[in-house]
């Protein structure tokens, strides 16, 4: 079981979606949670955790600002006596434009949050982990970082960068007792993907969302939270340097023709 009893865990992007679901699940599994987000709604996440009997504190911070990242890691150490894991989950959807319309500012913002923000979380938590010879780092990447057609150019590149960071840092931490892994979500119903769902619902085609993966549906934040809590726990003690898709099987295939009828003919 992914037991997190008395683990001190930092989770970014905790105001909604995957970050909120993971914060709540981690607390339910016994963790003390530092819930971080730029939005004030992170306080609602903590209130929900406390109402259920868990321990958590909220921090409003921008993960692309180094001083802010240093600050919430120090807050965890000061409030809870240390840090055992960090889930660098905060992210944005990118410029949302055709690649020829993207500008430098779009790229800087997307990379600043999605890639540099992950790097900063790693940079400032690792000294604590190395000193105690233990710790788990989890990063949210995306299936868009694995293959094309799951996001815009800037978003996809930013998530490919996260995967590369995970793989490279795993070896930079050789023998330290510190693990680092990435999660590559598929299509998950969150605030970031709300436009996709809203458009489909307006057309009456909600039932078709996620149909191109073999599980034939979209995912929920709680399903990513389960993987995140596993990787943060000692149950994942031999999992290191991996970018793990949680996508209903989407990334298992090359492009294919959707079969007519309910099921493909065997």
User: Which residue ranges form the domains of the chain, and what is each CATH number?
Assistant: 8-187+221-244 (3.40.50.720)
Q: One of 155, 171, 174, 238 is an active-site residue; which one?
A: 155
In the predicted structure, residue 53 carries a pLDDT above the cut 90: yes
pLDDT tens for 90-113 read 999 998 889 999 999 999 999 999
| CB distance 251 to 147 below 8 Å | yes
Encode pLDDT of 116-171 as tens digits.
Answer: 999 999 999 999 999 999 999 999 999 999 999 888 999 999 999 999 999 999 99
Are 124 and 34 contacting, i.e. CB atoms less than 8 angstroms apart? no
- 155 among known catalytic residues: yes
Q: Ramachandran region of residue 206, left (φ > 0), alpha (ψ -120 to 50) or beta?
A: alpha
DSSP letter (8 states) at residue 202: H
- Using alpha carbons only, how large is the chain's radius of gyration in Å? 18
Separation in Å, CA 232 to CA 29, 75, 192, 225: 11, 19, 24, 10
Mean pLDDT on 222-245? 98
């Amino acid at each position: 079981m992914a037991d997190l009893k008395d683990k001190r865990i930092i989770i970014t992007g905790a105001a909604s979606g995957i970050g909120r679901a993971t914060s709540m699940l981690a607390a339910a599994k016994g963790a003390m949670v530092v819930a971080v987000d730029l939005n004030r709604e992170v306080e609602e996440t903590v209130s929900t955790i406390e109402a259920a009997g868990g321990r958590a504190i909220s921090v409003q911070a921008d993960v692309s600002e180094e001083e802010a990242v240093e600050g919430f890691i120090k807050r965890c150490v000061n409030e809870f006596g240390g840090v055992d894991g960090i889930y660098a989950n905060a992210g944005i959807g990118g410029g949302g434009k055709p690649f020829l319309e993207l500008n430098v500012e779009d790229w800087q913002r997307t990379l600043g949050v999605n890639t540099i923000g992950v790097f900063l979380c790693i940079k400032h938590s690792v000294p604590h982990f190395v000193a105690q010879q233990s710790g788990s780092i989890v990063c949210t990447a995306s299936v868009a970082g694995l293959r094309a057609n799951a996001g815009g150019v800037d978003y996809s590149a930013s998530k490919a960068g996260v995967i590369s960071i995970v793989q490279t840092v795993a070896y930079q931490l050789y023998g330290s007792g510190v693990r680092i892994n990435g999660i590559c979500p598929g299509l998950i119903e969150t605030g970031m993907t709300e436009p996709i769902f809203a458009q489909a619902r307006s057309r009456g085609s909600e039932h078709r969302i996620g149909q191109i993966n073999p599980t034939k549906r979209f995912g929920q934040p709680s399903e990513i939270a389960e993987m995140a809590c596993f990787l943060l726990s000692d149950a994942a003690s031999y999992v290191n340097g991996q970018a793990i898709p949680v996508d209903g099987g989407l990334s298992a295939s090359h492009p294919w023709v959707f079969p007519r009828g309910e099921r493909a003919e065997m």
